[in-house]
Amino acid sequence: MPKKRITQMFPWLLPLRIKQRLLFFYTGMYFDGNTYASFKSEQKLKYRVFEASSLLYNHHTGFDMQYQENKVFNLKLAAQMLNNLIIRPQETFSFWKAIRYADKKNPYKDGLVMVNGKLEVSPGGGMCQMSNLLFWIFLHTPLKIVERHGHSKKDFPDTSEDMPGGVDATVAEGWLDLKVRNETDQSFQISIDFDEENITGCIFSDVEPEYFYDISNAKIFYYKENTKIFEEIDVVQKKISAAKGECICSKVLYRNKCEIGYSLKPEIKISEKGREKYGKIKYRRHIRRLFPRV
């Protein structure tokens, strides 16, 4: 049995622990030497680089739909801080630093959050849908990933074979952030929009793109470790010439690892030790139903 954390044994200590973490979290960014994106402009930069959307409401969580309405409220609060934000050359984008005061005037409402592989209710719940969307559009730019965390457990199979695996980005204020750094000589601008059913993220640039990017999976492994089954997926980014349509280069950005909490198909091979190549996954470009929604 895993050893209990002190806040699990003494729950009354949890608010103090959260305050401590937030203090260290933001103080660390203040002294880390990075310049964090904060400038906003109502005028959009000239060139649209990439756009993607996801559905706002998930009708299959098993929870009251009021939590979905609350999530949309929370997302719109965060979007007010993110919309029109410009990431200038040599600046770093931090998800939490960008939306730090989003709930200053209007507090977040209770939404669904994933805690230790289980859905729970907490103020500000549902923010991972925003970080997922942002991460997906960032992957289609030359911005460098500085910090990204995938969900540690997947309780349901992917809803579409067309989407690459391992492209989620979970966040938890004080613990887990989403950060990218602009090491180019051009600026990038975030745009967030809503309609009745969807949230749409778009990224603009002040320089006409010479390249566009395709994201895919190269390898997938399933293996057993201490009675648990894990999935590992390589996430690959291809850089393609906008003029000629030719692939300039291809690289593995990272390897995503998560525990599998559902029964795999019988034909899927599970390695007892080490890792074995299972195969390749192909996908088509998509803009909807990209990520699990809570």
Name the residue among 80, 81, 95, 113 with its Cα closest to residue 26. 95
Q: How far apart are CA 180 and CA 184, in angstroms?
A: 12
What are the residues whose beta carbons fall under 8 Å from the beta carbon of 117, sequence distance 6 or more?
152, 153, 155, 259, 261
Q: What pLDDT score does 17 carry?
A: 80
Q: What pLDDT score does 294 carry?
A: 54
Q: What pLDDT score does 265 carry?
A: 87
Q: How far apart are CA 203 and CA 196, in angstroms?
A: 21
DSSP sequence for 117-143: TEEEEEETTTTHHHHHHHHHHHTTSSP
Band the pLDDT of 116: cuts 50, 70, 90: low
Q: Which residue has the tokens 């692939």?
A: 247
CB atoms within 10 A of CB 279: 10
Asked whether residue 284 carries a pLDDT value surpassing 50, the answer given is: no
Q: What pLDDT score does 286 carry?
A: 44
Q: What pLDDT score does 273 carry?
A: 58
Judging by beta carbons within 10 Å of its beta carbon (0-12, 13-18, 19+), is residue 166 exposed, middle or buried? buried
Q: What pLDDT score does 277 carry?
A: 47
Band the pLDDT of 287: cuts 50, 70, 90: very low
pLDDT digit string, tens, across residues 160-169: 566 799 999 9
Q: How far apart are CA 263 and CA 272, in angstroms?
A: 16
Report which of residues 5 and 251 the model is more confident about: 251
Q: How far apart are CA 291 and CA 260, in angstroms?
A: 16
pLDDT digit string, tens, across residues 133-168: 999 999 999 999 999 999 888 877 765 566 799 999
Q: How far apart are CA 133 and CA 136, in angstroms?
A: 5
pLDDT digit string, tens, across residues 58-78: 887 788 899 999 999 999 999
pLDDT digit string, tens, across residues 4-58: 666 656 666 667 888 888 999 999 999 999 999 999 999 999 999 999 999 999 8
How high does pLDDT run on average in the chain? Answer: 88
Averaged pLDDT, 112-116 = 76
Name the residue among 60, 199, 57 with its Cα closest to residue 119. 60
Averaged pLDDT, 265-291 = 58
Decide: helix, strand or coil at residue 154: strand
On the CB side of 246, CA atoms within 13 Å amount to: 3
Asked whether residue 291 carries a pLDDT value surpassing 60, the answer given is: no
Q: Are 161 and 54 in contact (CB under 8 A)?
A: no
Q: What pLDDT score does 288 carry?
A: 42
Tokens at 123, concatenated: 């103020």
Q: How far apart are CA 292 and CA 173, in angstroms?
A: 20
Band the pLDDT of 89: cuts 50, 70, 90: very high
Q: What pLDDT score does 209 carry?
A: 95
Name the residue among 184, 258, 181, 256 with its Cα closest to residue 219. 256
Averaged pLDDT, 107-131 = 85
What are the residues whose beta carbons fall under 8 Å from the beta carbon of 266, sequence distance 6 or more?
none
Report which of residues 188 and 293 the model is more confident about: 188
Band the pLDDT of 122: cuts 50, 70, 90: confident
Q: Which residue has the tokens 């648990």?
A: 228
Name the residue among 131, 102, 151, 142 with its Cα closest to residue 199. 131
Report which of residues 50 and 266 the model is more confident about: 50
Residue environment code for 69-100, b if the CB has 16+ CB neighbours within 10 A, otherwise e: ebbbebbbbbbebbbbbbbeeebbbbbbbbbb
